[in-house]
Chains A and B, each alone.
Chain A
Amino acid sequence: MKRTLFASVAIAAIALAGAPVSAEEMKAEVIHWWTSGGEAAAVKVFADQFTKAGGTWVDSAVAGAANARNAAISRTVAGNPPTAMQLNTGKQFDELVEGDLLADVDAVATEGNWRGVMPAAIVAAATRNGKMYAVPINIHGQNWLWYNKTVLASVGAAEPKTWTDALAILDKLKADGKVIPLAFSGQKNWEQNLFNAVMIGVGGAQMWTGILGKRDVSLAGSPEFKTVAITYKKLKDYVDAGAPGRNWNDATNLVIQGKAGMQIMGDWAKGEFVAAGKVADKDYGCTVLSNGSGGYVMGGDVFVFPKAKDPSTTKAQMTLARLMLTPETQIQFALKKGSIPVRSDVDTSALDACAQKGMRYVADKAQQMPSGDMLAPPATIGALQDAISQYWNTNMSADEFSAKVVAVLKSQE
């Protein structure tokens, strides 16, 4: 017994040590958090392309975004980095660049003219000190409004364009009393996501970048911000008692089944509609509420490459970077993932109606808005999340909430 245990430990240790990589072959160990069905299919697009190019893709999927990031970052800091790791488009790799732990992909970016075909906000989010350090691979719209066409038609409502329209429709649905007007998932990050949709849709572009990007304290104390806060709190009248703690996909399914009228959610919600066999623009509609000053909040994912000691790994990294951005890979990936390509020059005819709408938003420079993650570090986003969540769930007044946001912006040095 003891001896077999010892032997198995020894074998495991040898296995963990790994076989030495010869200089000729390209091996890429990739850490990411795409573990659900559609996501795994999407990442396979990259893996297949890399294999075709003669490389070996070692898939290190870790469930849960935070867990995957932690695993990848700890390994990088400890000097045993993966070849590539997934992060969200934004400030998550600031400190890795400061610590000189990442390889830049500027040569590949210049060669592939990335700056010419990507939205400026996405390029900026991937650039540090004038060089591109990350490969943006997709754009997720975060502030879509999804609605059930049959439900809206039943109260004689058309697609809303602004929050004023949306509130009028919610009122009608509430008076009608047959369905939940607004499907909602009461978890902190979705409370924040809903607030963000109101902030961009009511407050507009300047409010958005002013609060999140510039941390403008006077703006957080302004009457315009108070209007945003009041509009947000009004929405609480349209959600049901079961909302707190509900998962986002359960809320989406309420809209799909016609038990609820509409939902604010990122475009990953489309996967639920597709899985339920619903067709965009026929069964359900999608739109982005705006006050006319722009407002498509672009989040997304990037891959970064920790600096490698041996040239074969560097070669694998640059090959990956190049492959991820080819038009063919981009479109295949977007189809599987439900996101839209970061390139504006791909053939979008294969995409569904909502994704094409997204492409039109992104093509318009005035509509492109960087996500909160691109404008502020995780600590600030998190502190704001706590304030928003408290405001939504308690009897806090709009003035008290403004004061809280001011305090949060001040405390983030």
Chain B
Amino acid sequence: MRLALSSRLSAISALLPALVVMFVVYIGATSWTVWMSLTNSRMLPNSNFVGLRQYQLLLGNDRWITSVHNIVIYGVLFVSLTLLIGFLLAVAIDQRVRAEDTIRSIYLYPYSMSFVVTGLVWQWLLNPTLGIQHVLRSWGFEGATFDWIVRPETAIYCLVIAGVWQASGLVMAIMLAGLRGVDDEIWKAARVDGLPKWRVYVSIIIPMMGASFATAAVLLSTGVVRLYDLSVAMTNGGPGIASEVPAKFVMDHLFERANIGLATAAATTMLITVIAVVAPYLYWRARKGEMR
């Protein structure tokens, strides 16, 4: 009995820091953010309750609407393209190529760079008067046009390009690990049956790699929600408000624009959206656990 108690005590004391952090930092700070979004706080937090007025303003705010559109476009394209390219790179490396280690390092390298550096480099590459377009024209392709980054309707796709370039290597590494986990016997059996290679990948290997895809997708999705520095470094939300994203909306209004009420309303909206997306999945997981 005494032993059980002391071991329980030590378990609790070991968990205590984590619990305190969870309650104070996560739940405390989140609740405070939600409360602030119901006040008319400007530069300093205050407690003048104004109900849902900040949310009204938010939903009528062009820049917020554009930000939400952009994060959806970016999220869908970035996750799908990165998974696709990462998988194809992994398959290419998996063909027992020579100098595999070198190639793998090269592919992974972009991931070790910060988004700020990536953003700046791509900003220069895509700039029509300095980058790719300029080079093509100086080579004599007078009509060459690649000015996506300075056109409001295409600027967000430039962010996708840079994001995909950075994250594909990481997905490749995850996928390669998954591919190496596939038993050689399966390949042998497929060869005996005379299946073409692409068919084996599509019908057998990909279904077996569910865990790798899930891991990669989750990692990429967290990157989508907090997308901020890439937008700042590449376009600073421009041209106009064409490449604004929600996290940047929150940061700008929190600090530069001294509008805490509106910023926390935007942050709360982001939180609710994430919960709405994740909740069904958590529910499904819980159910699956019960059924076992």
Contacts and interface: CB of A to CB of B under 8 A. Distances in A.
Contacts of B69: none
B259 A95 contact: no
Given A92-B258, A377-B258, A413-B40, A393 B147 contact: no
A67 B150 CA distance: 28
A378 B43 contact: yes
B257 A241 contact: no
Contacts of A386: 62-63, 241
A102 B234 CA distance: 39
A378 B149 contact: no
A393 B256 CA distance: 22
B255 A245 contact: no
Contacts of A379: 42, 253, 257-259, 262
A394 B240 contact: yes
Contacts of A248: none
A241 B137 CA distance: 14
B256 A66 contact: yes
A94 B46 CA distance: 14
B257 A242 contact: no
B236 A188 contact: yes
A77 to B, nearest CB: 6
A391 to B, nearest CB: 8
Interface in A366-405: 377-379, 381-383, 386-387, 389-390, 392-394, 404
Interface string B241-263: 11000000000110111110010
B113 to A, nearest CB: 20
Given A245-B123, A386-B62, A393 B239 contact: yes
B63 A411 contact: no
B44 A393 contact: no
Interface centre among A73, A92, A390 (most CB of B within 10 A): A390
Nearest to A378: B258
A382 B259 contact: yes
A242 B152 CA distance: 13
Contacts of B241: 386, 389-390, 393
Contact of A390 (B62, B129, B149): B62
A186 interface: yes
Contact of B42 (A242, A377, A392, A407): A377
Contacts of A35: none
B147 A378 contact: no
A186 B128 CA distance: 14
A70 B44 CA distance: 10
A69 B262 CA distance: 19
Contacts of A67: 255
A224 interface: no
Nearest to B50: A413
Nearest to B63: A386
A99 interface: yes
A241 B256 contact: no
B149 A382 contact: no
A244 interface: yes
Interface string B12-54: 0000000000000000000000000000101110000000000
B127 interface: yes
A382 B129 contact: no
Interface in B203-262: 234-242, 252-253, 255-259, 262
Given A241-B128, A242-B127, A244-B150, A382 B235 contact: no
B43 A92 contact: yes
Interface centre among A73, A188, A240, A387 (most CB of B within 10 A): A188
Interface centre among A379, A392, A411 (most CB of B within 10 A): A379
B106 interface: no
A413 B255 CA distance: 19
B238 to A, nearest CB: 6
B130 interface: yes
Given A70-B255, A244-B239, A377-B258, A99 B44 contact: yes
A49 interface: no
Nearest to B251: A66
Contact of B242 (A381, A393, A404, A407): A393
Contacts of A94: 43
Contacts of B143: none
Interface in B109-150: 123, 127-130, 147, 149-150
Interface centre among A96, A383, A404 (most CB of B within 10 A): A383
Contacts of A381: 257
B44 A382 contact: no
A381 B252 CA distance: 12
Contacts of A404: 62
A248 to B, nearest CB: 13
Contacts of A95: 42-44
Contact of A241 (B40, B42, B129, B259): B129
B30 to A, nearest CB: 19
A312 interface: no
Contacts of B123: 245
Contacts of B40: 413
Given A379-B258, A382-B253, A411-B57, A245 B127 contact: yes
A243 B237 CA distance: 14
Contact of A389 (B240, B252, B253, B256): B240
12 contacts: A95-B43, A96-B44, A186-B239, A241-B128, A242-B129, A242-B150, A378-B258, A382-B253, A386-B62, A386-B241, A394-B152, A404-B62
Interface of A: 66-67, 69-70, 73, 77, 92, 94-96, 99, 186-188, 240-245, 377-379, 381-383, 386-387, 389-390, 392-394, 404, 407, 411, 413
Kindly list the 3 A-B residue pairs having the minimum CB-CB distance in the complex, ordered from nearest.
A393-B240, A242-B129, A382-B257
Interface of B: 40, 42-44, 57, 60, 62-63, 123, 127-130, 147, 149-150, 152, 234-242, 252-253, 255-259, 262
Given A66-B255, A378-B259, A379-B42, 5 more contacts: A188-B238, A379-B259, A382-B256, A390-B62, A393-B241
